[in-house]
């Protein structure tokens, strides 16, 4: 591993001192898990900050984003072996959640403008392939078009569970959609490890919560669940982190703007796939030429870490070779040769952005 001067991601989490007041409350209650007072308060405060119109009963906590997706899928109670359409261009956790929930993933390609499933195209595929659910993914925390997916769910009765892992604060809610978020340290709102299931339908959220607690409802195993509960310690970090969310955003904003301005001024042929207005968690650019490998090497030589998302796409990972692709993955494959995710966080400066954009300009000459 080369030593990077500038890391791809730098977590922005509360300090020990910021967490201590909440830990003291745990000392007082002697309650460590199983939906204790910290977890309850965390959900109340999350609803106030991120989900206007919803309350704590519309949020279930989980111990990771992956388990949030899995328990959200379980909560929908599809038949075992039900087909679930999802993009191949995503993190492997989306696919593992589908398989572990007892369903069968079918992979579709993304739209290059949104890096997500196109609601019209994917909706058509889901219908003709007999899918019971669709799992669109908001790549890099970009928000998905809620109205289009809401209409699709209403017209078809096909469940829509959005993997909005990095999209907390960005992805809006609408009545028929179920959302899963990640609170991993590398996401914009990190607590270490954690996840959320959010829906305006309380019955879905209740079932997700039951799924995180072994499938037990008042001592009866209603369905096959797991143990994905959020501990009181994690919720304590979450409560401390809520107080920092504005400051985190304020540190990221100038960096997003610096990228937008520098790319437009110096390499207008490079496309910013994650527009600054969309408040993305990560920054992804598309080069006009397949020069990503050279760019990764040049950046690394300058001490700058970057990531190729998602290489390979999920359908080419050994664990998922056996599942069907609904169409050729032309756009997902193009991402691996033409696109790169660059550092974008509050621990860097506009001068770092200038250096990165210079390196991009050089590799394109």
Q: Is 90 in the site for ligand PLP (CB under 6 A)?
A: yes
Choice between 66 and 176, CB closer to ligand PLP? 66
CB of 163 vs ligand PLP, minimal distance in Å: 5
Residue in 163, 232, 298, 352 binding ligand PLP, rule: CB under 6 A: 163
Pair 363, 338: CB distance under 8 Å: no
Q: How many CB atoms lie within 10 A of CB 322?
A: 8
β-pair type (283-286, 271-272): antiparallel
**Minimum separation from the CB atom of position 226 to ligand PLP (A):** 13
Span 262-321, contacts to ligand PLP by CB under 6 A: none
For 59, 80, 198, the CA distances from 203, given in Å and listed in that order, are 11, 20, 11
Establish if 65 lies at the interface with ligand PLP (CB under 6 A).
yes
How far apart are CB 188 and ligand PLP at their closest, in Å? 11
**C-beta of residue 199 within 8 angstroms of C-beta of residue 205:** yes
Instruction: State both tokens at 263.
Output: 């790319």
Stretch that binds ligand PLP, among 61-69, 149-157, 230-238, 353-361 (CB under 6 A): 61-69
Q: Does 94 bind ligand PLP (CB under 6 A)?
A: yes
Burial 192-226 (b: 16+ CB within 10 A, else e): ebbbbbbbbeeebbbbbbbbbbbbeeeeeeeeebb
- Beta carbon nearer to ligand PLP, 184 or 258: 184
Shortest CB 117 distance to ligand PLP, Å: 13
Q: How much of the chain is in helix, strand and coil states, percent to nearest 5?
A: 45, 15, 40
Residue 226 binding ligand PLP, by CB under 6 A: no
For residue 300, the minimal CB distance to ligand PLP (Å) is 23
**Partners of residue 325 on adjacent β-strands:** 107
Task: Tell me: does residue 242 bind ligand PLP (CB under 6 A).
Answer: no
Q: Which is nearer to ligand PLP, 65 or 332 (CB)?
A: 65
| Type and span of the H or E element at 71 | helix 65-75
- Does position 93 interact with ligand PLP (CB under 6 A)? The reply is yes
**Which is closer to ligand PLP, CB of 184 or CB of 252?**
184
What gap in Å lies between CA 178 and CA 69, rounded to an integer? 9
* CA–CA gap between residue 234 and residue 14 (Å, rounded): 12
Residue 167 as a binder of ligand PLP (CB under 6 A): the answer is no
**Cα–Cα distance measured from residue 205 to residue 195, given in angstroms and rounded to the nearest whole number:** 13
Question: How many residues at the interface with ligand PLP, by CB under 6 A?
Answer: 14
| Min CB(30)–ligand PLP separation in Å | 28
Among the listed residues 41, 47, 54, 66, the single contact to ligand PLP using CB under 6 A: 66
- Footprint on this chain of ligand PLP (rule: CB under 6 A): 64-66, 90-91, 93-94, 137, 163, 165-166, 182, 184, 195
């Amino acid at each position: 591993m080369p030593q990077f001067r500038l890391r791809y991601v730098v977590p922005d989490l509360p300090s020990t001192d910021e967490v201590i007041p909440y830990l003291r409350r745990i000392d007082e209650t002697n309650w460590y898990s199983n939906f204790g007072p910290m977890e309850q308060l965390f959900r109340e405060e999350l609803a106030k900050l991120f989900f206007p119109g919803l309350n704590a009963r519309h949020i279930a906590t989980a111990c990771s984003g992956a388990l949030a997706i899995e328990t959200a899928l379980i909560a929908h109670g599809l038949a075992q072996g039900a087909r679930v359409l999802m993009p191949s261009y995503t993190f492997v956790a989306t696919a593992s959640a589908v398989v572990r929930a007892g369903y069968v993933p079918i992979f579709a390609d993304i739209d290059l403008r949104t890096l997500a499933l196109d609601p019209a195209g994917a909706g058509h595929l889901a219908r003709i392939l007999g899918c019971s659910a669709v799992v669109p993914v908001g790549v890099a925390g970009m928000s998905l078009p809620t109205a289009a997916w809401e209409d699709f769910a209403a017209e078809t009765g096909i469940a829509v569970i959005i993997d909005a892992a990095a999209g907390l604060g960005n992805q809006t809610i609408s009545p028929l959609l179920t959302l899963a978020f990640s609170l991993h340290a590398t996401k914009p709102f990190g607590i270490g490890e954690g996840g959320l299931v959010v829906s305006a339908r309380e019955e879905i959220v209740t079932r997700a919560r039951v799924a995180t607690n072994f499938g037990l409802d008042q001592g009866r195993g209603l369905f096959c669940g797991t143990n994905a509960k959020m501990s009181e310690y994690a919720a304590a970090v979450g409560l401390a982190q809520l107080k920092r969310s504005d400051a985190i955003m304020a540190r990221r904003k100038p960096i997003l703007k610096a990228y937008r301005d520098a790319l437009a001024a110096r390499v207008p042929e490079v496309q910013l796939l994650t527009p600054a207005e969309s408040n993305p968690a990560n920054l992804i650019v598309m080069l006009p030429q397949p020069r990503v490998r050279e760019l990764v090497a040049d950046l690394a030589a300058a001490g700058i870490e970057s990531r190729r998302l998602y290489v390979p796409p999920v359908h080419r990972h050994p664990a998922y070779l056996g599942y069907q692709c609904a169409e050729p993955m032309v756009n997902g494959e193009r991402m691996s040769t033409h696109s790169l995710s660059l550092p974008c966080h509050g621990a860097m400066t506009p001068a770092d952005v200038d250096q990165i954009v210079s390196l991009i300009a050089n590799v394109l000459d």
